[in-house]
Structure 1
Amino acid sequence: MLPLLAAAALLPGALLPSGVAAQPATQTTAADPQMAKVLADPRRDKDRARDAWRHPAETLAFFRIKPGMTVADYMPSGGWYTRVLVPYLGDGGRYIGIGPSLTALPEAGRQRWADFGTRFPANAAGWTGVAADRIPAFTLDAVPADLKGKVDRVIIMREVHNMWPGNLLYSDLAAIRAMLKEDGLLGIEEHRARPDAPASYTLGTMGYMREADVIALVEAHGFRLVGKSEVNANPKDSANWPDGVWTLPPSLTLKDKDREKYQAIGESDRMTLLFAKR
């Protein structure tokens, strides 16, 4: 059984948007048989080793994601959460892959993401067995007009440290805010630096960011924090590695040097945050 949802709570005095109910601080797959079925699917056999660090059932429950919703996944990369969300949202739901605004990227980035709208649906179809035409994908400067204000949830999983130094926060958070319904929510997971970490270590290039900085940056772009969860916390991570977060699993960039030490620590300490539009 996956760990219980740890210390997931609304902030004192924080109100969720109308129609979004607070949930208990403990929820497991036993309470959600659909999620349990998704996580046990053979298509996830290679993904499952990371469940102990990423806590998908508890994380998505904290983000108030339910079957039937429309959920957009920012920079979905290799599709780890795609393989969870596409089947979990079901036939009545909709999963959307979203990439960064091409206009905000340097030339190399534009070339990398230019074909995202056609490449990602085909990849996602192979990962999930769902037809590509049911898994739309867009860069954020090409979101169809009829999708704006129609999305229930957007998730940004360990990408704020790329958005911040890449000058993507303004363009992409503005576009994400426009996609969300009035009662829509933005869920963010990010590698967490120590509160006293120097700016030289928390500008994104080491993978870690201070929780206070992430909250301030997101709130400055039209959101308000409504909840935090410690479900993805890892107190063993000192978050001060000279080679950044990639020192730890799964990257293990130092290869065999102190490999057992880093494997024993596990994946990074992470903040898990929930925001509403303001």
Structure 2
Amino acid sequence: MLNNFSKLSNSMVRPAPIKIHEVIFIWVCVMLVWDYIVGTYGEGITNFIYLKFAGIALTMIFLSKSFLQRENLNFTQFMGAGFSVRALAELAAVLFASVFIGIGCWAILVFLSAKIDVDWAYRHWHLAKPSAFENTNWLPSWLVLQAITIVVLGPVVEEIVFRGFILRRLCEKYRLSVAIVVSSLMFGIVHFDHGFLGSFVNGIIYAIVAIRFASLYAPIFVHGGYNAITFFIERMYGVALVAEKSQIDSIGYWLPEL
């Protein structure tokens, strides 16, 4: 498998173009800058958080170009080869498995937190009653922005950073298994607020997919597909948005999710 990872591009035998502490520092700085910009000038804008996410993603993609120039690489070399149509069946199976894993991990975290404090869990996970969800009106323009940010920009920049830069750097110093786990832990920490467990497990899946197909396009496909499916079922059916407060601390209530 390590040999497969070296095929991600012709440059994989070279040192990674950016060190882990550098990419983390830059990521944090970009987040703080966009948080300030949107917080200062975005007051009163509905769902302004997605403007911030879009700004962060586009900025990191732009900065990635300068990182690659350190090794005289371009995005084509860095991203690796695409995957064949025949590989779609395997990737689709991985995608649906990741969705079930993600929803299951979410349900476990909600259940465990509700066992400690139901009121806190209901607030923390931003849950709503079925009646409140049914009366929700989704603005089409904001749904489009959310979809672009969550389904396209997010997966692209996160795979570039976590599987392209961080996993690659870790593989230079540690065993492949250690590199996968550590990079996935870091991926989970970034999503710590509401999805650490699912993000950690799926981070392992995305890393294995990157290695299996020797391409960043493959994990972007799975990651983007995961976000697309969860985005759709959340907005259409209230999955991960709707729950009965009086039942969220009951294992029987969550068994269908698991």
Greater Rg over alpha carbons, structure: 2
TM-score under structure 1 normalisation?
0.24
TM-score by length of 2: 0.25
Q: Which has the bigger relative contact order, CA under 8 A and spacing at least 6?
A: 2
Structure richer in helix, relative to its length: 2
